[in-house]
Structures are given as structure tokens and as C-alpha cells.
């Protein structure tokens, strides 16, 4: 087994929400739990989850590859997903993304050399009225992201990492400040 006993207990709670013949419905939750613990979802984790849920591995793979919230390779401690869909683009989303690229010295789907930040281009996050928006570690929505707001966020995240003594730890994509 690749996950902790606690992770499998959490998956069991998700599985209990569905009838026995619909266990596949817990796939997204199982992937989220695994990613929170491991930091990303490897092929081995996908196989393990499929075995645990009792579904074909391809069924888990299809979900993991369809949604951009699941990371199929390691990411930085802080994953920043910038919306560049039309409403955000019209309100500065592409400029925000370009500014982050310059500031961090990376492109989309890249991680800074210190392992601190990964930058991802995202699809609509349903907050068009607050554009441009981005997600931090898949869970915290940042709105109206001007260059000043980006500077504040990046510096705050760097301070947070330094304060925790973990300058280059993979992103948790879950609870703030926790590594997994």
C-alpha cells in the first residue's frame, strides 16, 4: 500500500457515501486524498487507488488526466494556477500570467529551481467578476491579481516557507503550509 492508514480511512469514508456498485464515484475524492498526502499522483498511486476502489486503472487515469487539479508529476511547494480564459484575459489574466513568468523565471508547467513555485495555466474558475483570478495549491482563490497583488502573494509565500523551515518542499495541494 502506497498511502498511510489515515489516507485509506479517509478514502473509506468517501466510498461509504456511494452504493457498492457505484464505487467509481469516489475516484475524484480518492485522487485528492492521495495527492494531499503524496504531493502528486504517480502511475503507481493510480494503480493502487484503482485496486483499492475496485475499478480498472484506466478509470482512475481518465479522471486524473481530465482535471488539471491533479498533478501527474511533482510540483513546487506552491502551485499557482492562473486563469487565462476569455473573461480573465479581458481583465488582465494574460498579463498577470506574463508577470508571474517574468517574476519567477519560469513558464507554464515549470517549477522554479528551488522547488518553491510551479506555474500552471488554468481553465475558468467561476469567479469571472473578480478577474483576473488564480488558485494557490488548488484550494485558495486569489482575486483581482494586479502586479502589486502578485508581488505581495509571492513574498508572503516565501516568508511562509522560510518560517516553516521548508524552503524547497513539494506543494501539499491541500492544507496550507503542510507538505505531502
Torsion over CA: 158, 115, 39, 98 (sign): positive
* pLDDT for 27 beyond 80: yes
- The average pLDDT across 71-100 equals 94
* pLDDT for 170 beyond 50: no
Distance spanning both ends of the chain, measured CA to CA = 16
Contact 131, 92 (CB under 8 A): yes
Q: H or E segment at 52?
A: helix 43-53
Q: Which fold has domain 78-164?
A: Glutaredoxin (3.40.30)
pLDDT digits 0-9 by tens, 96-123: 999 999 999 999 999 999 999 999 999 8
Q: How confident is the model at residue 69 (pLDDT cuts 50, 70, 90)?
A: confident
> Nearest 5 degrees, angle CA 67-CA 69-CA 72?
85
User: What is the rounded (10 degree) CA torsion for 60, 109, 147, 113?
Assistant: 120
Fold equal for 5-66 and 78-164: no
Cell of 111: 517549477
Quote the CATH superfamily of domain 5-66: NADH-quinone oxidoreductase subunit E (1.10.10.1590)
- The domain limits of the chain are 5-66, 78-164
* pLDDT for 172 beyond 60: no
Q: How confident is the model at residue 167 (pLDDT cuts 50, 70, 90)?
A: low
pTM greater than 0.75 (yes/no): yes
Contact 148, 161 (CB under 8 A): no
3-state SS of 56-114 is CHHHHHHHHHHCCCCCCCCCCCEEEEEECCHHHHHCCHHHHHHHHHHHHCCCCCEECCC
- The answer to the question of whether 128 is labelled as a binding residue is yes
* pLDDT for 65 beyond 50: yes
CA dist., res. 67 & res. 58, Å (int): 14
- The answer to the question of whether 88 is labelled as a binding residue is yes
* pLDDT for 38 beyond 80: yes
CA dist., res. 52 & res. 11, Å (int): 9
- The answer to the question of whether 142 is labelled as a binding residue is no
Amino acid at each position: 500500500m502506497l498511502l498511510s492508514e489515515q489516507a485509506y480511512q479517509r478514502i473509506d469514508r468517501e466510498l461509504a457515501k456511494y452504493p457498492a456498485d457505484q464505487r467509481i464515484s469516489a475516484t475524484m475524492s480518492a485522487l485528492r486524498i492521495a495527492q494531499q498526502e503524496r504531493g502528486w499522483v504517480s502511475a503507481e498511486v493510480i494503480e493502487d487507488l484503482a485496486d483499492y476502489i475496485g475499478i480498472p486503472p484506466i478509470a482512475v487515469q481518465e479522471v486524473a488526466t481530465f482535471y488539471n487539479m491533479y498533478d501527474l508529476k511533482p510540483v513546487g511547494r506552491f502551485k499557482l494556477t492562473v486563469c487565462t480564459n476569455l473573461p480573465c484575459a479581458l481583465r488582465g489574466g494574460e498579463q498577470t500570467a506574463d508577470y508571474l513568468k517574468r517574476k519567477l523565471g519560469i513558464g507554464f508547467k515549470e517549477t522554479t529551481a528551488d522547488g518553491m513555485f510551479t506555474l500552471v495555466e488554468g481553465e475558468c474558475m467561476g469567479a469571472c467578476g473578480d478577474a483576473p483570478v488564480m488558485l494557490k495549491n488548488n484550494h485558495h482563490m486569489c482575486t483581482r491579481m494586479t502586479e502589486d497583488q502578485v508581488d505581495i502573494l509571492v513574498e508572503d509565500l516565501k516568508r511562509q516557507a522560510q518560517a516553516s523551515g521548508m524552503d524547497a518542499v513539494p506543494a501539499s495541494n491541500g492544507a496550507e503550509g503542510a507538505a505531502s
